[in-house]
Amino acid sequence: MIREQLLDPGAAELAGFLNRHARACACLVQVAGQMEVTYQGRAASTAEAGAYLLILKADGSLQIHHPKGVKPMNWQPKTDTVTAAAQDGFCVLTASRKNPAETVQVVMLEIQLAQALEITDEAGFVIAGTEAQLQATLARQPELIEPGLTVLDLELLTDVGGIDLYAKDAKGQYVVVELKRAKATQEAVHQLSRYVDAVREHLPKRAKVRGILAAPAISLPAAMTLERLNLEFKEIHALPTAQEQAAQPNLF
Amino acid sequence: MIREQLLDPGAAELAGFLNRHARACACLVQVAGQMEVTYQGRAASTAEAGAYLLILKADGSLQIHHPKGVKPMNWQPKTDTVTAAAQDGFCVLTASRKNPAETVQVVMLEIQLAQALEITDEAGFVIAGTEAQLQATLARQPELIEPGLTVLDLELLTDVGGIDLYAKDAKGQYVVVELKRAKATQEAVHQLSRYVDAVREHLPKRAKVRGILAAPAISLPAAMTLERLNLEFKEIHALPTAQEQAAQPNLF
DNA sequence: ACCTCGATGTCGGCT
DNA sequence: AGCCGACGTCGAGGT
């Protein structure tokens, strides 16, 4: 599982280690110690010398972590080339990609630890409660939104984007439904609004089109805007609540 | 720098290690080996037993990495409690937070490595090319958008959000500018459109209000919508181009 | 390759 | 504490 581990490696030794493992073997490579990191690409950043943790995965993704937060300080989702070289007594790692053109460069000042771990298997991972699942559920059971609703289309494409759920209500009026798996914001209201407008343009004049924002909750300002625009809100939950789970344990 | 390192620890030993270092010392803690991970909260997920790398930072953030990508498989940005305990011969780590209420639970099946690293200092980090900087630059040099432009306001609040740049052009017409540091999408066009509408409502009838989308590029569909809505596009770059840098090296 | 949108988005800033 | 919007967003899915 630990393929190789170096303590306090020298520049040349570290460069050799990185070139040997970067991409070549299916390993997750880590380097910890004092580094300096610069980035040039969509933006440009510099990190002063400090203690960081660098992780280079087998798929070529790179991340450099500072002491705080889930998000790396610097990163590269994919790399076209990753190379290490000893320069002026320091090991320098350069990770580049084209499209977008960007480069992360790491100067390894004083490295305490370099290791290659065998983290390589893809194991099964399942997630529940996504918007896609919510959409599928509501497509099967549109009455969860409103009795008498008939679903006409999923992801119906308009000029301005895809409509989550396109339907007809009990009175035969068209209904545009915008789904959110989390609390709806102003943004969601405007998204719905522009879909409703787009649908109206494709229908005969004075055909009424309803817009429903379906989400577990809505922010107060968003609710205001919603009302002003004559749109509707329907509370709907992405994950079954504890009660629902108890009531229909076999459904999920 | 390496505060402590355990190879092939037992359940109790590992639990002790985690409880000792989690949050207590200002360390970055890692565990590598076979684990099972479950998450319950905003969504719900399960990861089958597999080789993962767990990172627990001193600020209480937790992330569990699989072999691919920058994004962790599971994570928790902040935790209220992190506890480890030996159960049925396995060390089980539980990380929880309220608001939102969620829990990550890790069953450590076969651990090869646990280590605590001193990654604790906050070193200087600067980034260039953000939208905020672009906004500041254009506020100082509005002629970069258009000759004769006078900036009236930054982040002017309307009912529907803040206007990046509110200005008056050479002819005295009001101008709403929406900035994007990257290629502008449909969304940006609609954002701009909303702001223009909001401003029109506050001005006497028939006062003309121009809307300019300032970005390094625009997607083709967005450009279509922009034209349909009688809005304008102005190419503007968040980072100085190589030529500009060469021409005015002292400005940046 | 471009485009669009979801995300357990995360994170910071402001009210 | 809630709300909003940027992000080097990432990543997946469609065209």
CATH code for the domain in which residue B142 is found: 3.40.1350.10
| B67 and B15 together in one domain | yes
Residues 11-40 of B with CB under 8 A from A: 26, 28, 32-33
| B112 and B145 together in one domain | no
| A154 and A192 together in one domain | yes
| B159 and B221 together in one domain | yes
- State residue B4's pLDDT score: 94
> In terms of Cα–Cα distance, which of A15, A93, A20 is closest to A52?
A93
CB B179 within 8 A of CB B186: no
- State residue B252's pLDDT score: 38
CB B116 within 8 A of CB B16: no
Mean pLDDT of B90-116: 97
Closest CA–CA distance from residue B244 to any residue of chain A (Å): 15
Name the residue of chain A whose CA is nearest to B5's CA.
A113
Which residue, of A92, A117, A142, is where some domain finishes? A117
* Calpha distance A187→A180 (Å, rounded): 11
Determine whether the interchain pair A122/B65 forms a contact, defined as Cβ–Cβ distance below 8 Å: no
* DSSP bridge partners of B204: none
Asked whether the predicted pLDDT for residue B245 surpasses 70, the reply is no
| B99 and B153 together in one domain | no
Name the residue of chain B whose CA is nearest to A64's CA.
B70
The DSSP code sequence of B94-139 is EEEETTTTEEEEEEEEEEEEEEEE-------EEEE--HHHHHHHHH
| B113 and B7 together in one domain | yes
* Calpha distance A211→B25 (Å, rounded): 53
- State residue A248's pLDDT score: 53
Residue A126 included in any domain: no
Mean pLDDT of B187-214: 93
Residue B123 included in any domain: no
| A12 and A113 together in one domain | yes
Asked whether the predicted pLDDT for residue B251 surpasses 50, the reply is no
Determine whether the interchain pair A45/B127 forms a contact, defined as Cβ–Cβ distance below 8 Å: yes
- State residue A239's pLDDT score: 85
Q: Where are the beta strands (DSSP E) in chain B?
A: 2-7, 28-40, 44-56, 62-65, 74-76, 81-87, 90-97, 102-117, 125-128, 150-158, 161-168, 174-179, 209-215, 232-235
Asked whether the predicted pLDDT for residue B6 surpasses 60, the reply is yes
Which residue, of B65, B92, B117, is where some domain finishes? B117
Which residues of chain B lie closer than 8 angstroms to A158, CB-CB? none
- State residue B1's pLDDT score: 85
Which residue, of A88, A117, A146, is where some domain finishes? A117
The answer to whether A161 contacts chain B (CB < 8 Å) is: yes
Strand D bases near protein CB (under 7 Å) are 1-12
- State residue B159's pLDDT score: 85
- State residue B188's pLDDT score: 96
A33 closest CB neighbour out of B1, B45, B55: B1
* Calpha distance B177→B131 (Å, rounded): 13
| A62 and A171 together in one domain | no
- State residue B29's pLDDT score: 97
| A135 and A245 together in one domain | yes
Tell me the CA end-to-end span of chain B in Å, nearest whole number.
36
| Per-10-residue mean pLDDT, chain A, length 252 | 94 97 87 98 97 97 97 97 96 97 98 95 93 96 96 91 95 96 96 94 88 97 96 92 52 40
- State residue A249's pLDDT score: 47
Residue A193 included in any domain: yes
CATH code where residue B50 lies: 2.70.180.20
Q: Exposed (0-12), middle (13-18) or buried (19+): which is B101, by Cβ within 10 Å?
A: exposed
Pick among A4, A127, A231 to test the B interface (most B CBs inside 10 A):
A127
CB B47 within 8 A of CB B138: no
How many domains does chain B divide into? 2
Residue B217 included in any domain: yes
The answer to whether B6 contacts chain A (CB < 8 Å) is: no
Q: Which domain holds residue B108?
A: 2-117
Between residues B122 and B98, which one has the greater pLDDT? B98
The answer to whether B1 contacts chain A (CB < 8 Å) is: yes
Determine whether the interchain pair A119/B160 forms a contact, defined as Cβ–Cβ distance below 8 Å: no
- State residue B241's pLDDT score: 61
Name the residue of chain A whose CA is nearest to B224's CA.
A159
**Segment B76-93, tens digit of pLDDT:** 999 999 999 999 999 999
Distance of CA B65 to the CA centre of its chain: 19
- State residue A245's pLDDT score: 54
Residue B34 has which token pair? Answer: 């076979």
The answer to whether B229 contacts chain A (CB < 8 Å) is: no
Residue A169 has which token pair? Answer: 């209500």
Determine whether the interchain pair B75/A75 forms a contact, defined as Cβ–Cβ distance below 8 Å: no
| B235 and B157 together in one domain | yes
Residue B71 included in any domain: yes
| B91 and B37 together in one domain | yes
Residue B111 included in any domain: yes
Asked whether the predicted pLDDT for residue B25 surpasses 80, the reply is no
| B234 and B188 together in one domain | yes
Asked whether the predicted pLDDT for residue B38 surpasses 70, the reply is yes
Residue A13 included in any domain: yes
Residues 134-153 of B with CB under 8 A from A: none
* Calpha distance B110→B95 (Å, rounded): 19
CB A132 within 8 A of CB A165: no
- Considering any atom of strand D, list protein residues whose CB lies within 7 Å: A 39, 41-43, 45, 61, 74-78, 102, 104, 183, 185-187, 219-222; B 68-71, 99, 127, 129-132, 160-162, 164, 181-182, 191
- State residue A30's pLDDT score: 98
Determine whether the interchain pair A122/B68 forms a contact, defined as Cβ–Cβ distance below 8 Å: yes
Residue A216 included in any domain: yes
B44 closest CB neighbour out of A119, A124, A239: A239
Indicate the Cα dihedral angle A177, A183, A188, A190, nearest 10°.
110
